[in-house]
Structure 1
């Protein structure tokens, strides 16, 4: 069957739109990846000092995954979508979409887990809070995996190769944006328990570099990662399908930077000089008690950031 001039023009128009959208995706991906690499070189001296010498813990493991495994995976993904990859076949595209989907889920789960540990430390590693965080985290992860698994079927079925661009393509399911809802709800849960603890601390005048870093980075993280999740939701929900990759490359690179700096900032605060931590009621003119924090020689032990210091209580005439 011959193709009419109108059909040929329509196909050319679709190809032009696809090329434009892919260029936007690539430019944003290159920008995010460049920022990630620049930040890696910028913070490498601090990482060597603060992280490399520490013993392996849940925090360090999550940090190393975020710091090194994610850039490697993103490098491969960017190569696949660059147009220069070889052996782009239909089967390869289907496998790439499947792997890509769950890599994103695992990445955000890893960053959320690092933030969860910070929230738990604010509560002085209380068992009840720890069990609650783990339960809600598992619910969030299970819901995300179920939604992603359900929506992955249509993606794999509609996968195809665009030979003119040497890239994979698939239709974005109409409900795929819902995969970000559990993430947003979990972030709200974390900020609620953080605010609750901050309110408890507000009843006492407390000055500590570790606490200040925990609260500052905790709230900054919530604003940043929540905006990233909302952006991903909007990209997959209302943006043109050609911008699908923005939620994979650009925001992932930015969140990787935030996750790495979050851990290093707290470790840096834990190694601050000895400080005087004053406990007192916000409604009293004079402090009730005075606590002096002295840094121990085992500051690299990050089982809990509240174990970095040894405290001696001094009677203040109360």
Structure 2
């Protein structure tokens, strides 16, 4: 594959299109489903799940505009050096919100097992610590490609001979894999113990959990 400036600029342009497309999908989904969200979420009693859901929902809408500002527009080198780490640091909190929702669901599914809760909180704390480490110290600004190389998008890259930016997105995938495996394992144990088809609630929980896992895995794999 050619490493020419034209090729590099092409891939930067594709990356920018992906960010714009992702934000357009999020905005479209919010607009088209707001009536149901208002009926089933906003009017419902406040719970930890509701708070985590709304944080996930609106944090990405709020910070997405800033991400597009950093990644799609051209800026001076001085400005990029000040702000290029900020989008990654902001994005990690949206991932955290979705992981908290998953944690609460799994905790409830395991009948509020405190040992499982402690294990999941420990894993999530490790995930947060690693992502903060990457966001604060393991990234560099992608050099400007377009002549005269004085302006460009503020895109971060991993430091030379490191892949921590890839790890930033793979770490949540590892956490989701752990949660999905233990949840499916629990469902199989329940079904075997009962000696027949599992309840509709368990089937729905597993179906939605696996569907979420597939979607979030695709997002995490596509992000790097």
Q: Indicate the TM-score class for this superposition, using the shorter chain for normalisation.
A: 0.7 to 0.9
**Which has the larger share of helix?**
2
RMSD of aligned alpha carbons: 2.5
Which of 153, 161, 168 is the matching residue for 2:154?
Answer: 168
Pairing 1:104-253 to 2, within 5 Å after superposition: 104-152=91-139, 155=140, 166-169=152-155, 171-173=157-159, 174-176=162-164, 177-203=166-192, 204=194, 205-208=197-200, 210-232=201-223, 235=224
What's the offset of the Cα at 1:227?
3.1
Check the 8 A contact 2:77/2:151 in 1, yes or no: no
TM-score, normalization: structure 2?
A: 0.82
**1:81–1:136: structure 2 CA closer, same or farther, 3 Å change rule?**
closer
Distance 1:170 1:184 in 2: 20
Asked whether the equivalents of residues 161 and 167 of structure 1 are also in contact (C-alpha less than 8 Å), the reply is: no
Partner Cα distance (1:126, 1:80) in 2: 43
Inter-partner Cα distance in structure 1 for 2:176 and 2:129: 15
Aligned residues: 213
Task: Determine if contact 2:107/2:113 at 8 Å carries over to the other structure.
Answer: yes
* Gap runs ≥5 in structure 1: 1-12, 236-318
More relative contact order in 1 or in 2 (CA 8 Å, sep 6+)? Answer: 1
TM-score (norm 1): 0.60
| 1:18 Cα deviation from its structure 2 partner | 4.2
SS at match of 2:154: strand
Residue matched to 1:65: 55
Deviation per CA, 1:20-60: give whole Å up to 9, x if none.
22321232222222221221122111101110012332211
With over 3 angstroms needed to count, the CA separation of the structure-2 counterparts of 1:52 and 1:138, relative to structure 1, is same
Give structure 2 stretches of 5+ with no counterpart. Answer: none
Q: CA deviation at 1:164?
A: 7.0
Residue in 1 that maps onto 2:33: 43
Q: Tell me, in whole angstroms, the C-alpha distance in 1 between the residues paired with 2:110 and 2:156.
A: 45
